[in-house]
Structure 1
Amino acid sequence: MELRCVQKAMMDEYFKRDSERGLFPTFAWFVEEVGELGEALLKRDKAGVSEELADVIAWALSIANLVGIDVEEALRLKYGEVLLKGSASSCDSH
């Protein structure tokens, strides 16, 4: 599953709703999910952490879609050298 495809799927499913809600209310939902992630981490609840990480990533993608940022490209620009070395470069072979 490629990040660009995940971001597009999130856009296809949620962009209209996120647009109607607006950027800052969508950001508020993101922050709420970060708080829930913190709670799961404090409880050392691995299943909860997994669920909340998924929520945090999904809401981050929603924000990126609202402001027109390709997250895969943003990661490449910010962390390109890291992504080119080690296991990240061979990720597609797994």
Structure 2
Amino acid sequence: MVTIRDFQDLMKELYFHRDSQRGVDRTYIWLVEEVGELGDAIITNNQTAIEDEVSDIFAWLASLCNILNFDLESVVMKKYKNSCPRCKSRPCRCPLV
């Protein structure tokens, strides 16, 4: 099974040189652009495009974490390991907004 850390390492191997040259600001802009493309895919209910954009978002997020020099898996699991970080319940019992 591939872990989040494995995937982040793969993105580092494939793209770190280019990502580090691009820098944090421009890499962040690419990530946000992919989120917009996901929104378009959801609006048009295009399942293939949704899957592609979710994959792109995850890849760009991993790349951004590589540039910022932190382990995505560690920070995600630290915050969301056993319960909702807000209400501390599992499953979440926060009021819907």
TM over 0.5: same fold? yes
TM-score normalised over the length of structure 2:
0.82
Aligned to 1:19: 20
Q: RMSD between aligned alpha carbons?
A: 1.3
Once the two structures are TM-superposed, the CA of residue 8 in structure 1 deviates from its matched residue by: 0.2
Query: What letter is aligned with 1:41?
Result: I
TM-score normalised over the length of structure 1:
0.85
Query: What letter is aligned with 1:11?
Result: K
How many residues matched?
A: 84
Kindly name which structure, 1 or 2, has the bigger radius of gyration based on alpha carbons: 2
Please list every run of at least 4 consecutive aligned residues from structure 1 whose deviation after the TM superposition is greater than 4 angstroms: none
User: How far apart, CA to CA, are the structure 2 residues paired with 1:57 and 1:66?
Assistant: 14
User: How far apart, CA to CA, are the structure 1 residues paired with 2:5 and 2:29?
Assistant: 24
Runs of 5+ consecutive residues of structure 1 not aligned to the other structure: 87-94
Q: Percent identity between the aligned chains?
A: 37
SS at structure 1 position matched to 2:61: helix
Deviations 1:48-74 (A, max 9, x none): 100000000000000000001101101
User: How far apart, CA to CA, are the structure 1 residues paired with 2:19 and 2:76?
Assistant: 23
Aligned to 1:56: 57
